[in-house]
Amino acid sequence: MRTSEKILVIGSSGQIGTELVQNLREIYGIDGVIASDVKVTEQAKEGPFEVIDVMNAQGLLEIVKRHKITQVYLLAALLSATAEKMPKLGWDLNMQGLFNVLDLAKEKIIKQVYWPSSIAVFGPNTPKVNTPQFTVMEPSTVYGISKQAGERWCEYYFNKYNVDVRSLRYPGLIGWKSAPGGGTTDYAVHIFHEALKNGKYECFLSENTILPMMYMPDAIKATIGIMQADPGTVKIRSSYNLAGFSFSPNDLAAEIRKHVPGFTISYAPDSRQQIADSWPQSIDAKEAAKDWGWQPEYDLKSMTDDMIKNLKNVLL
As a whole number of angstroms, the distance between CA 313 and CA 316 comes to 6
Q: What whole-number distance in Å separates Cα of residue 304 and Cα of residue 300? A: 6
SS3 label, residue 155: helix
Residue 79 contacts ligand AKB per CB under 6 A: yes
**Region 101-160 residues binding ligand AKB, contact defined as CB under 6 A:** 118-120, 143
Tell me the three state secondary structure of residue 53.
Answer: coil
At 4, the amino acid letter reads S
Among 143, 307, 38, 52, smallest CA distance to 61 is for: 52
174 or 196, CB closer to ligand AKB?
A: 174
Should residue 17 be labelled a site residue for ligand AKB when binding is judged by CB under 6 A?
no
Amino acid in position 95: M
Is 172 near ligand AKB (CB under 6 A)?
yes
- Asked if 233 and 194 count as a contact pair (C-beta separation under 8 A), the reply is no
Instruction: Give the binding-site size for ligand AKB (rule: CB under 6 A).
Output: 11
Q: Does 213 bind ligand AKB (CB under 6 A)?
A: no
The residue (of 102 and 173) whose beta carbon lies closer to ligand AKB is: 173
Please identify which residue in 11, 97, 139, 183 interacts with ligand AKB, judged by CB under 6 A.
183
**Residue 11 is a binding residue for ligand AKB (CB under 6 A):** no
CB of 80 to ligand AKB, least distance (A): 3
> For the chain, what is the largest distance between any 2 Cα atoms, rounded to a whole number of angstroms?
58
The residues that are catalytic are 143
Min CB(120)–ligand AKB separation in Å: 5
**How much is the CA Rg of the chain, to the nearest whole Å?**
19
| Interface residues toward ligand AKB, by CB under 6 A | 79-80, 118-120, 143, 170, 172, 183-185
